[in-house]
Structure 1
């Protein structure tokens, strides 16, 4: 009788663990061909909503201050822009996600999970090529910049992180910025949108919800660089 109870209890724990994993496991981000984005591969973003009287396309770095090695992220007015890469931020949860493969050696990029984002082309200065958010006193806005500092947060605290969130129709996404400054803090994610500053279409963390930037992903191929 005692052994039966122990066996039933263990079976229940296994069932609850499996059910929780199935419920929490996020979908993979898809490119416009319906294929999962892969960690370590390079992708362009392709805007979904055309802008009236403006020919705008993908994203690329732009110089805010070369002397101070300050680079922002902008939307190019022509061409496909610069491709980008994604990597999982190391957390116990993300470590479990990293075991989910689309093929024997391929790992998918999940939705709604903390990521580091960087362009595949380095700006050549600064502590890193990872995206970050910087507050601009003049405009009172948080712009997406390049050059995040190395992570030195205590265990359980992410700090700055971006995620990819599905919007609207399948294959349509937006970037969101999800900071975490303390272990007990409630995380609130803000959509990343586009604002025009000095004639430049810049990526900004939209704390008011007014700016938006829906897009799809296109896998990088060498011939795309000539588009």
Structure 2
């Protein structure tokens, strides 16, 4: 019988992409281009839960990335930085995701894929990643936004499938939510599992934008 760790390793894929592909620009809920020099909230489409930091499953640091469960529902603001330091953020292009608010683990609030949690059989998204320097040493720190459907405002899924290193071994899965230790923590999920749909709100004037999306926060 395969152990959870062996099963997790079976998801490893060999990357042959030598260069990330450039798609359309990311759009916020107003239809405006998402920019690297601005702050945004990322909320789940439909229920309005934003993202925040949460105590690690076993230690204080680094902090896990999780959905908020109480007000303010927007969570903490985020900034994006593309692998090529582009002024605008594009779909399906490797980027760093970083919380803007300093927390108890202030050394780094850049997202990364944590070490495999054998007890829970999952790869969690946590903080403590490295910003920039695309390549083999920073492979765990790169995420992508891919558009879901053709609706307006734009709805995206978050993907971990880095293209910044040719011939590197890496996981290639969607980012989703798992209820762990009384919290809705972000984890890697297989393609056959439900997609985690998100929309992007500009942090400036976010309250005005919220009226454009049906929100059922207590669901």
Give the TM-score normalised by the residue count of structure 1.
0.69
Aligned to 1:118: 98
User: What do residues 204-223 of structure 1 show as CA deviations (whole Å, max 9, x unaligned)?
Assistant: 11136425310111100277
Unpaired segments of 5 or more residues in structure 1? 1-23, 51-55, 99-106
| Residue 61 (structure 2) aligns with | 69
CA RMSD after TM alignment: 3.0
Q: Which residue in 1 is equivalent to 2:36?
A: 39
Q: How many positions carry a matched residue from both structures?
A: 183
The Cα shift of 1:46 comes to 2.3
Larger RCO, structure (CA 8 Å, separation 6 or more): 2
Question: Which residue in 2 is equivalent to 1:88?
Answer: 82
8 Å Cα contact 2:173/2:190 also seen in 1? yes
Where in structure 2 are the equivalents of 1:44-193 lying within 5 Å? 44-50=41-47, 57-64=49-56, 68-78=60-70, 79-89=73-83, 94=84, 98=86, 107-125=87-105, 127-134=107-114, 135-149=116-130, 159-160=139-140, 161-170=142-151, 171-179=154-162, 183-185=166-168, 189-193=172-176
Distance 1:44 1:31 in 2: 10
- The 3 A distance-change label for structure 1 pair 223 and 48 is closer
State the shift of 1:168 in Å.
1.9
Alpha-carbon distance in structure 2 between the residues aligned to 1:209 and 1:121: 34
**Contact 1:59–1:81 (CA under 8 A) maintained in structure 2:** yes
The structure richer in strand per residue is 1
Name the CA distance, whole Å, in 2 between partners of 1:120 and 1:181: 24
CA radius of gyration, larger in: 1
Change (3 A) 1:80 1:66: same
Q: Does 1:214 align with 2:208?
A: no
Distance 2:164 2:107 in 1: 20
CA distance in 1, matches of 2:76, 2:35: 17
8 Å CA contact 2:79–2:99 kept in 1: the answer is yes
How far did 1:191 drift?
0.7
